[in-house]
């Protein structure tokens, strides 16, 4: 296969087609709960993860399949998680919104908007205190900027100069609320700068721009210069979740943005600059589909935790934490 397509195109396609499969499986009721697709935003997780090291930490929100895949959590473990199986990356307890993988330093998966941000600051603080040269990457949507804890965390991170990289995926909507109705001023980088955090706006549809700017930012953070803030301009092509009738935006806007589909952009670049062919594309698709198929098989074949284990994972120190349950 075209080696250059391995870098960004393949990982993005993995995310895209994995999620399309998920939507299908949701229709079949194999996957339940809330399911938030990342379609349209793949360049961001892909570009960012491409420049992080295994020692770096990740915090994200509920729209987390893309981050999990790009980080290298095995696809089958992610799929098994969505199926609620023990083999899932969170043992089946978390589901789509709560993907975890300690070995990849992937700490979820919070379904409380903004809830992961201070946790990322704390993770980074632990690195600072232990003098480890790690970076914590903290993903969130632009909607999170309306939450107080976003601001508290910016201030704390800047004050203490912790090595955290704030990654705001500005897809212009928080559920049905357009950014103009969410924030009195919509420039996210300006908000970061008010805390003395250097900030940059990046085209979130261009995976190479994402990687390049993130790389520079990571370097600075790793060098001990404190937090950095990146705002990625992007768009979600699909509904907020599987229940969203999309009353709040019109089709033209969506199709306008789809012209800048990050996969198309990257594929065009591969064709223009790296001799990517239709054959490469076919090969790529086949590989990705095989992996997805295998992941579904793995998930289907997975085991359901016995109900007798229900009370586990409440306390690490054994038991349900109560001597008697009455």
Partner 1 sequence: MANGRVRMTYREALRAGVREVLLREPLAFLMGEDVGRYGGSYAVTRDLLAEFGPERIRDTPLSEAAFTGAGIGAAIGGMRPIVEIMTVNFSLLALDQIVNHAATLLHMSGGQCNVPLVIRISTGAGRQLGAQHSHSFEGWFAHIPGLRIVAPATVEDARGMILSAVRDPDPVLIFEHMMLLGAEDEIPAAIQASDLDSARIRREGQDVSLITYGGSLFKALEAARVLASRGISAEVVDLRSLRPLDDRTVFGSVRKTGRAVIVDEGWRSGGISAEISARIGEHLFRNLRAPVGRVCTKEVPIPYPKHLEDEALPSVAEVVAVAEEQVRLHV
Ligand X SMILES: Cc1ncc(C[n+]2csc(CCOP(=O)(O)OP(=O)(O)O)c2C)c(N)n1
Q: Which one among 8, 195, 228, 235 touches a copy of itself, defined by CB under 8 A?
A: 195
Nearest distance in Å: CB 98, partner 1: 4
Query: Is 114 strand, coil or helix?
Result: coil
Q: Which one among 17, 30, 93, 151 touches a copy of itself, defined by CB under 8 A?
A: 151
63 lines the binding site for ligand X (CB under 6 A): yes
225 lines the binding site for a copy of itself (CB under 8 A): no
Nearest distance in Å: CB 61, ligand X: 7
Cβ-contact 286, 64 below 8 angstroms: no
63 binds, among ligand X, Mg ion, a copy of itself, none (CB under 5 to 8 A by kind): ligand X
* Cα 100 to Cα 58: distance, rounded to the nearest angstrom: 10
146 lines the binding site for a copy of itself (CB under 8 A): yes
Q: Which one among 127, 142, 261, 280 touches ligand X, defined by CB under 6 A?
A: 142
Residue 315 burial (CB count, 10 A): 11
The residues, any chain, with a CB within 8 Å of residue 111's CB and separated by 6 or more, are: 34, 61, 62, 97, 98
Comparing CB distances to partner 1, the nearer of 80 and 211 is 80
143 lines the binding site for ligand X (CB under 6 A): yes
Nearest distance in Å: CB 135, a copy of itself: 19
Burial (0-12, 13-18, 19+ Cβ within 10 Å), 247 = exposed
Comparing CB distances to ligand X, the nearer of 143 and 262 is 143
Q: Which one among 6, 133, 181, 258 touches partner 1, defined by CB under 8 A?
A: 181
Query: Is 141 strand, coil or helix?
Result: strand
Could you tell me the CA-to-CA distances from 100 to 183, 259, 269 in Å, in that order?
31, 33, 33
| Residue among 30, 165, 139, 149 at smallest CA distance from 95 | 30
| Residue among 235, 38, 58, 60 at smallest CA distance from 139 | 60
- Which stretch in 50-58, 170-178, 188-196, 203-211 sits in contact with ligand X by CB under 6 A? 170-178
Report residue 60 as tokens: 């994200």
Cβ-contact 205, 261 below 8 angstroms: yes
Residue 307 burial (CB count, 10 A): 6
Comparing CB distances to ligand X, the nearer of 212 and 239 is 239
Comparing CB distances to ligand X, the nearer of 129 and 175 is 175
194 lines the binding site for a copy of itself (CB under 8 A): yes
DSSP secondary structure code for residue 100 in this structure: -
Q: Which one among 89, 135, 162, 174 touches ligand X, defined by CB under 6 A?
A: 174
* Cα 66 to Cα 156: distance, rounded to the nearest angstrom: 28
Comparing CB distances to partner 1, the nearer of 11 and 91 is 91
Query: Using CB under 8 A, which residues numbered 204 to 263 contact partner 1?
Result: 244-245, 247-248
155 lines the binding site for a copy of itself (CB under 8 A): yes
171 binds, among partner 1, a copy of itself, ligand X, none (CB under 5 to 8 A by kind): ligand X
Residues 226-265 as x/- pattern, contact with ligand X by CB under 6 A: --------------x-------------------------
Could you tell me the CA-to-CA distances from 259 to 158, 240, 262, 268 in Å, in that order?
37, 19, 9, 12
195 binds, among a copy of itself, partner 1, Mg ion, none (CB under 5 to 8 A by kind): a copy of itself
- Which stretch in 82-90, 107-115, 266-274, 295-303 sits in contact with ligand X by CB under 6 A? 107-115
């Amino acid at each position: 296969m075209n080696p250059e397509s391995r870098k960004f195109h393949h990982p993005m396609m993995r995310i895209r087609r994995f999620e399309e499969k998920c939507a299908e499986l949701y229709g079949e009721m194999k996957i339940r709960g809330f399911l938030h697709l990342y379609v349209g935003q793949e360049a961001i997780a892909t570009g960012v993860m491409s420049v992080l090291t295994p020692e770096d930490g990740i915090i994200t929100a509920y729209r987390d399949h893309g981050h999990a895949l790009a980080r290298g959590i095995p696809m089958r473990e992610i799929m098994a998680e969505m199926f609620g199986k023990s083999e899932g990356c969170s043992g089946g307890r978390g589901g789509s919104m709560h993907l975890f993988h300690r070995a990849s330093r992937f700490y979820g998966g919070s379904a409380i908007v903004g809830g992961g941000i201070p946790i990322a600051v704390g993770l980074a603080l632990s690195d600072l205190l232990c003098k480890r040269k790690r970076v914590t990457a903290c993903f969130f949507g632009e909607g999170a900027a309306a939450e107080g804890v976003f601001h508290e965390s910016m201030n704390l991170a800047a004050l203490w100069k912790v090595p955290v990289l704030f990654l705001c995926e500005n897809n212009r909507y928080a559920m049905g609320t357009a950014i103009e109705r969410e924030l009195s001023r919509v420039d996210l980088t300006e908000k970061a700068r008010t805390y003395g955090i250097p900030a940059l706006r990046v085209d979130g549809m261009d995976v190479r721009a994402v990687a390049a700017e993130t790389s520079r930012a990571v370097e600075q953070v790793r060098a001990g210069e404190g937090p950095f803030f990146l705002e990625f301009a992007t768009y979600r092509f699909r509904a907020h979740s599987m229940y969203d009738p999309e009353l709040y935006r019109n089709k033209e806007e969506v199709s306008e943005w789809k012209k800048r589909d990050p996969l198309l952009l990257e594929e065009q670049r591969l064709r223009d600059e790296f001799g990517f062919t239709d054959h490469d594309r076919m090969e790529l698709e086949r590989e990705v589909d095989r992996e997805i198929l295998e992941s579904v098989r793995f998930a289907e074949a997975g085991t359901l935790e016995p109900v007798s284990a229900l009370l586990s994972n409440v306390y690490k120190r054994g038991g349900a934490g109560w001597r008697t349950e009455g």
